[in-house]
Amino acid sequence: MTEACRGDRDGGDVTDARREIGTAMAGAALAWLDTLDDEQRAIGVGHPPADDATDAERRRWFYTPTDHGGLTVHQQRPDQHRAMMRLISTGLSTPAYVTVATIMGLENVLDQLEGFVTRFDRVRGRDPGLYYLRVFGEPGGPKPWGWRFGGHHVSLNNLVVDGALVASTPLFLGADPASSPLLGGAVNRPLARVEDLGRDLVRSLHGDVRRRAVLLDRAPADLVAANRTVVADGDRTIPLVGIWRDEKFPDPVEQAKLQALSDRFDENAGLSDADHEVVSYRTAPKGVAAAEFDGDQRAVLGALLDTYFGRVPAAVSPAERYLDDAVLDQVFFAWAGPTDEGQPHYYRLQGPNLLIEWDNTQRSANHAHSVWRDPSTDFGLDVLAGHRAAHRH
């Protein structure tokens, strides 16, 4: 079971909270499905979650502006879009819902920033209407079901089993631009605290602790675990061109543009093979354990974790679990890149049932990615395996 739903697994209050959220999700999902015609349902409904190869599509996720799979905003009437947003809200805290809505709106800002040009072999490359929803299985029934919502810089993955929300990772939020101007000198930074608390933490470290926490003076071009379904020991960054649903665009000119962009990101990062090994993912965490932090540093780490755990409804957030010193002690913090504001950088939080990654490297460090995962049980795969075993005849 993922950390988002682990809590006190057998505790009555936690179980009731998971069921309450599962019920809300089912009601919202059914309300959305009831608005769809046959053609829309063929796109918006996927194979029921299962502990076998038929579940492969549900386990695919992206954060690039590619086809995430499902029914887009463009393919829906306004009332259907509203029902879609209602379902999305059931899996998020209010701050997270506001952040998701803001990220979707940033597609308009990015379009202007890039000059309103056609990109990615489609009519509008930066498009707030290209966010996709797909429901897997039959909501509210006795069998497992789930839903996935995603588009550029958003990926939400939820699984409900026996009426209870049991998994909500991977959970990805990004922002491009990460920082943009508002009237009166204000600044729009949807993931400001996610970035700033990480920098505050590394800057607070000194001596040998800091030397061990900072893996490299340069940052990788993207998240190290990327959008892999399963994270494995030794994983390295995937070039941008590889994080798309289809291998190549039909238009060779657009494909060449994407390849050139991908190459530029990698060249700007300037990592050698040895550097990639230094920042590669390992099951044995890299960096420094919170057991070595002082009280103020532990408080910053706790606040940083909250920017990820606070994305789900408070009733199922694992944040309280990390108030236990013994649990927090096992969280490792690692950083790559300069610690100056405005410079490309990356950090990782890793511990039992926990992998968090952040990077802000692209577009002159104004293009941010953040993801919360549980490498061992993303997508609720452990729960599905247990459910199948329990219901085997």
pLDDT at 389: 57
pLDDT at 387: 63
Q: Please compute the mean of the pLDDT values over residues 219-247 and round it to a whole number.
A: 95
What is the distance of C-alpha 63 from the center of its chain?
8
CA 130, 136, 140: angle at the middle one, nearest 5?
120
**Residue 260: beta bridge partners?**
none
Q: Considering only CA atoms, which of 67, 90, 72, 66 is closest in space to residue 36?
A: 72
pTM equals: 0.95
Q: Say yes or no to pLDDT of 355 above 80.
A: yes
Q: Considering only CA atoms, which of 353, 391, 7 is closest in space to residue 162?
A: 391
pLDDT at 6: 43
Express as a percent the part of the chain with pLDDT over 90. 89
Say if residues 191 and 178 touch (Cβ distance below 8 Å). yes
pLDDT at 15: 85
* Cα–Cα dist 390/93, whole Å: 32
Q: What is the pLDDT of residues 27-81, one digit of tens each?
A: 999 999 999 999 999 999 999 999 999 999 999 999 999 999 999 999 999 999 9
**Residue 149: beta bridge partners?**
133, 156
Q: How confident is the model at residue 1 (pLDDT cuts 50, 70, 90)?
A: very low
Q: How confident is the model at residue 4 (pLDDT cuts 50, 70, 90)?
A: very low
Q: Say yes or no to pLDDT of 5 above 50.
A: no
Ranking 179-183, 283-287, 372-376 by mean pLDDT, the lowest is: 372-376
**Tokens 């769809």 found at:** 36
Say if residues 240 and 64 touch (Cβ distance below 8 Å). yes
Q: Say yes or no to pLDDT of 3 above 90.
A: no
Averaged confidence pLDDT in the chain: 94
**How many other CB atoms are found less than 10 A from the CB of residue 76?**
20
Q: Considering only CA atoms, which of 111, 119, 92 is closest in space to residue 244?
A: 119
Q: Please compute the mean of the pLDDT values over residues 214-231 and round it to a whole number.
A: 97
pLDDT at 11: 55
Q: What is the pLDDT of residues 99-146, one digit of tens each?
A: 999 999 999 999 999 999 999 988 999 999 999 999 999 999 889 999
Q: Please compute the mean of the pLDDT values over residues 199-209 and round it to a whole number.
A: 98
Q: Say yes or no to pLDDT of 388 above 90.
A: no
Q: Say yes or no to pLDDT of 7 above 70.
A: no
**Tokens 């996709």 found at:** 132
**How many other CB atoms are found less than 10 A from the CB of residue 96?**
21
Q: What is the pLDDT of residues 277-322, one digit of tens each?
A: 999 999 999 999 999 999 999 999 999 999 999 999 998 999 999 9
Q: Please compute the mean of the pLDDT values over residues 196-210 and round it to a whole number.
A: 98
pLDDT at 390: 66
Q: Say yes or no to pLDDT of 177 above 60.
A: yes
Q: What is the pLDDT of residues 254-263, one digit of tens each?
A: 999 999 999 9
pLDDT at 9: 43
Q: Say yes or no to pLDDT of 10 above 50.
A: no
Q: Say yes or no to pLDDT of 331 above 80.
A: yes
HEC letters along 245-309: CCCCCCCHHHHHHHHHHHHHHHHHHCCCHHHHHHHCCCCCCCCEEHHHCCHHHHHHHHHHHHHHH
Q: Please compute the mean of the pLDDT values over residues 338-351 and round it to a whole number.
A: 98
Q: What is the pLDDT of residues 143-159, one digit of tens each?
A: 999 999 999 999 999 99
**Which structure tokens are listed for 300?**
């910053």
State whether the Cα torsion 203-206-209-212 is positive or negative: positive
